[in-house]
Structure 1
C-alpha cells in the first residue's frame, strides 16, 4: 500500500516576495528608460501632438463641433457597412521617393468606392512632410458610377482636400503611332476610337495654377499615387494626350517610377500601386483586385457585397443571365453561361466570381 502525503499533492506557489517583485519592476523601468534614451539620440519620438481643438472664443464653435461629429459618424457607419479595414502597408520604397521628389501629390480614387481607395497612412505622410506639399484627389472612373453618387462624393471629399472628377481617355495610341499618322494623312484614320477625357483640362489648369504660384524655378513635379487599377497611368496618359505610360486591367502593370513631361512647366511621376496589408479582411483584399490569392469564401463574399450595391437589371443585361435571387444563384448562372463546369457538370462558381471581380477592376 502506497501512502501519499497531502503536502506532496500541493502545487508550487507562484507568489513572489515583495523584494523580488519590486526588483523586477525596477529592472523594467530601467530597461524602458534605456530604450527612450536610445530613441532620443536617434531622433525618434512616439509623442503625438495634442489636438488643441476649437478655441472657446472662436465664432460658431458649437456648429463646427457638431459638423465634425456628424462627419465622424458618417465615416464610421460607411466603413462598417462596407466591412473594409483601414489597415494598410505604410507607404514605403517608391511612395516615399515620390513624396520626397514631388511638390503636389495626386491620390487617384475609384468613383465606385472612394473611401475604400483612400490610404490614411499615405495622406498623413504627405501632410506631415516638410516643404508644405499639396495633396490633390482625383475621382476617376466617374462613368462607372451614377451621376448623383459622383456629385455627393465630390461634395464630401472637397471638405478635406481639393477634388476633381475625372474620366480617363480610352484606347490612346503611343507617340510613335501618332507621329506616323501625321506623316501619312491619306491613310484611313480613326480605326481606334479615342474617347476624350472628362475634366482633363480642368485638372491640367489646376496644376498650371500651382506651377505659376510657386516661387521655385524649374518644372512643377507632381506625384501620382493610389491603389492598383484605380487608373493612375490612364490619368497621366489623358493629361499628356498619348500613351506614354503602360496601362492595363491586370494588377501591377506599373513596376517602377516614371517621369513624364506633361507641359513645359509640369512634370508628372508615375508610381506602382499601393499594396494592402494581409491583416485586412479577405473581402477587402478581394475588392482590391487580388481574387486569385484568397480563399473561395473571401471571393464569394466580395461578389456578394458588390451585388448589394448594383442594379440587378443592369447586371442581367451586362452578362445576359436571367433573374437571380442572391449572389450564389448569379454565379451559378454565369458559370453555366460561360461553360465554366467542373467534373460532373457542377458550375465552377469560384472561377465565375474571379471573372466578375476582374470585370469590376477593369
Structure 2
C-alpha cells in the first residue's frame, strides 16, 4: 500500500502472507526435486575430484594431462590460421574475378533483381551522350507508336526534324503523334493557333499533367517528405487524359494478335515525358523532378492490359544550335559544360525587358549581370559578407524557364509549309486509324476546362525554329599534328647520311612571312657591323664602412678611444 507523502510504496507485508509465500515456494521446490529424481537428471554439476594423492604415478598423469591440454590449444590455433588463409584466398579470388569481368555465382543471382541500378551505373561509366542516343534508338525500334512531347510555350523549338524523319522512314509501320504539354502556361488564343498549325502536319493532343498522384512505394513517399501537402486545387488536376487513352486503346484493339501496343514517349529534356506517363498511370511510376535529365535509360510502364508506354531519355541537342536553344534544350548547364550566367545572358536577349521586369518585379536593368544581382537581392540569395549570389539566381531563373512555373509564349508561323520529309500522303497516312473528330472534340473540351494566363501576364519569346538533334554520337577522330622541315637551314658540312635523310623531307606548305625589324633587332644589327672593342673590368669597392670613413672625415670612430 502506498502511503501519503511517500514516493514508493512500502514492501512490508503481514506475517501470514509472508509465511504463506514461503510455504508455496517450499512445495514448488519439492515437486521439482521429485520430478528430477524420477527422470535421473541432476541439477548440480559433478565436480572434478582430480587425482588423489594416494594414486600411483600421480605426477605422470598430471604431466600427460597438461601435455594434452597444450596439444588441444595448438590444434585450435592451427585451425584458426587455416580458416584465416581460406578467407584471404576467397577474397583474392573475388578481386581477380572482378578485375577479369567474371562475377561469382552469388552475385549473378542478385544481378537479375537489380537491372535498373546496373543500367544506371553503366550509363554513368559510359559516355552520357552515346548511351542516351543508344537508348533512344532502342525506344524507337521497340515502339509501334511514337509520341513526341512538345512544350506548349515553344512547340516549334521542341521539334526534332532528325527524330521525325527517322520515325517516318519505317514507311507506315510506326505512327507519329504530337502531345502539346504544359498548356496551362500559355494564353488560349496562342494555344489555339499552335494547335491548328500542328494538326495540319500530325495528329496533336493537348495535355496537362497532374500534380496530385499517389506514391508507388513507401520509399517514394519518404522521399517526398512526411510534411508534403497535396495540391487539391484545380491546377493539380489532369486534362487530356481520357482523349489520349481512348485513342491509344482504339489503336491497340485494331492491332492484329494478342500483343500489347507499345507507345514510345520521346522529346527533349524537361518537356514532361515522365509526368505524362505518371498521369496516365495515375501513380508515380517514373521518377520526375525539377532537375533535367533524370531519366537515363528506357523504362516500360503498363498503362492498361493492352497499352504499354516506354519512357526514354531526352534527345541530345546538336552543338550547332543557337545559344538560347542550347540553354533550354540541352544539359550543358547541368553537366557543367556551360556557365549558367552565360545561358541567362543568351536567354534575356530573346525576351522583351519590360515583360521580364513585370514578371520578376525588378527595376530596369542594363545587362544580365545587373538583372541577376537585383534578383538575388530580392530573393535573399546572399553569400558571406552580404554579396549577392548571382550563380544561384541564374540557376533559379533557368529552372523557372525549363520547369512548369514561368508563363511565356512564342508566336505560331502564319504560313504552313510542310517540311521536306513530310508530304500530303504521309499526313493522310498518319491520320488513318484515328477518329479525328473525337480528337478535335477532346481538344476543345480541354481548352474550355483548363485555366490559362492572360496575354499581358505572359512573356513574349522569339523562337528560333526546330532544334537539331543528334541520334548517333560519333567520337571525333584524333588530330595528327604534322611538322614541316625546311632544308635551307641545314649546314653544308654535315655528314652524307644526314644529307640524304633531309633531302627526302619536303615542306608541306611554305607561307611567306614578312620581315619586321624591331628597334632591338636594329641595335643588334648595328652592333654586329661595328668591330668589337675590348672592355676593361673595373672593380668597385663595396665596403660601405670604408667608403664612409674616406668620405666623411668628421664621422665618429668607435674603434678609437677618445677618453
What is the TM-score when the length of structure 1 is the normalising length?
0.65
Deviations along 1:148-192, one digit per CA (max 9) or x if unpaired, are 111111111111000111100014222346xx9xxxxxxxxx952
Contact residue 362 and residue 375 of structure 2 kept, 8 A: no
> SS of the counterpart of 1:221?
strand
Contact residue 236 and residue 268 of structure 1 kept, 8 A: yes
> After the TM superposition, which residues 283-322 of structure 1 pair with which residues of structure 2 at under 5 Å, given as runs?
283-288=324-329, 290=331, 291=333, 292-295=336-339, 298-305=342-349, 307-308=351-352, 311-312=355-356, 315-316=359-360, 321-322=361-362
**Aligned equivalents of 1:251, 1:309: Cα separation in 2:** 26
**Aligned equivalents of 1:239, 1:233: Cα separation in 2:** 10
Which position in structure 2 is the counterpart of 1:166? 207
Contact residue 146 and residue 263 of structure 2 kept, 8 A: yes
Which of 277, 294, 317 is residue 253 of structure 1 equivalent to?
294
Matched, 1:323 2:363: yes
**Aligned equivalents of 1:246, 1:142: Cα separation in 2:** 22
Query: For the structure 1 residues 167 and 348, does the alpha-carbon distance in structure 2 shift closer, same or farther, using more than 3 Å as the test?
Result: same
Contact residue 254 and residue 272 of structure 1 kept, 8 A: yes
Q: Which has the higher contact order (CA 8 A, sep 6+)?
A: 2
**Aligned equivalents of 2:271, 2:358: Cα separation in 1:** 22
**Aligned equivalents of 1:151, 1:234: Cα separation in 2:** 23
1:361: how far off? 1.2
1:238: how far off? 0.4
Query: For the structure 1 residues 269 and 353, does the alpha-carbon distance in structure 2 shift closer, same or farther, using more than 3 Å as the test?
Result: same
Matched, 1:105 2:149: no
Q: How many pairs does the alignment contain?
A: 260
- Deviating more after overlay: 125-134 vs 344-353: 344-353
**Aligned equivalents of 1:312, 1:132: Cα separation in 2:** 46
1:336: how far off? 1.5
1:217: how far off? 2.7
**Aligned equivalents of 1:352, 1:206: Cα separation in 2:** 43
**Aligned equivalents of 1:338, 1:309: Cα separation in 2:** 19
1:346: how far off? 5.7
**Aligned equivalents of 2:247, 2:178: Cα separation in 1:** 12
Which position in structure 2 is the counterpart of 1:192? 230
Contact residue 373 and residue 390 of structure 2 kept, 8 A: yes
RMSD: 2.9
Which position in structure 2 is the counterpart of 1:235? 276
Query: For the structure 1 residues 196 and 327, does the alpha-carbon distance in structure 2 shift closer, same or farther, using more than 3 Å as the test?
Result: farther
Deviations along 1:278-334, one digit per CA (max 9) or x if unpaired, are 232332211226435324663133330464398346513xxxx34335563432310
**Aligned equivalents of 1:121, 1:302: Cα separation in 2:** 25
Query: For the structure 1 residues 310 and 217, does the alpha-carbon distance in structure 2 shift closer, same or farther, using more than 3 Å as the test?
Result: farther
Contact residue 341 and residue 394 of structure 2 kept, 8 A: no
1:133: how far off? 0.6
Contact residue 289 and residue 357 of structure 1 kept, 8 A: no
Query: For the structure 1 residues 136 and 314, does the alpha-carbon distance in structure 2 shift closer, same or farther, using more than 3 Å as the test?
Result: farther
**Aligned equivalents of 1:283, 1:253: Cα separation in 2:** 22
**Aligned equivalents of 1:138, 1:176: Cα separation in 2:** 28
**Aligned equivalents of 2:283, 2:362: Cα separation in 1:** 41
Query: For the structure 1 residues 138 and 314, does the alpha-carbon distance in structure 2 shift closer, same or farther, using more than 3 Å as the test?
Result: farther
Contact residue 381 and residue 392 of structure 2 kept, 8 A: yes
Query: For the structure 1 residues 141 and 310, does the alpha-carbon distance in structure 2 shift closer, same or farther, using more than 3 Å as the test?
Result: farther
1:224: how far off? 0.4
Contact residue 340 and residue 395 of structure 2 kept, 8 A: no
Contact residue 340 and residue 394 of structure 2 kept, 8 A: no
Which of 240, 243, 264 is residue 223 of structure 1 equivalent to?
264
Contact residue 283 and residue 298 of structure 1 kept, 8 A: no
Which position in structure 2 is the counterpart of 1:146? 187
Contact residue 104 and residue 133 of structure 1 kept, 8 A: yes
Which position in structure 2 is the counterpart of 1:48? none
The structure having more radius of gyration, on CA atoms, is 2
What is the TM-score when the length of structure 2 is the normalising length?
0.43
Point out where structure 1 has 5 or more consecutive residues left out of the alignment. Answer: 1-87, 181-189
Point out where structure 2 has 5 or more consecutive residues left out of the alignment. Answer: 1-128, 222-227, 404-563
Deviations along 1:211-249, one digit per CA (max 9) or x if unpaired, are 122224311110000111000000000001111111111
- Deviating more after overlay: 101-110 vs 284-293: 284-293
Query: For the structure 1 residues 347 and 307, does the alpha-carbon distance in structure 2 shift closer, same or farther, using more than 3 Å as the test?
Result: farther
> After the TM superposition, which residues 255-274 of structure 1 pair with which residues of structure 2 at under 5 Å, given as runs?
255-274=296-315
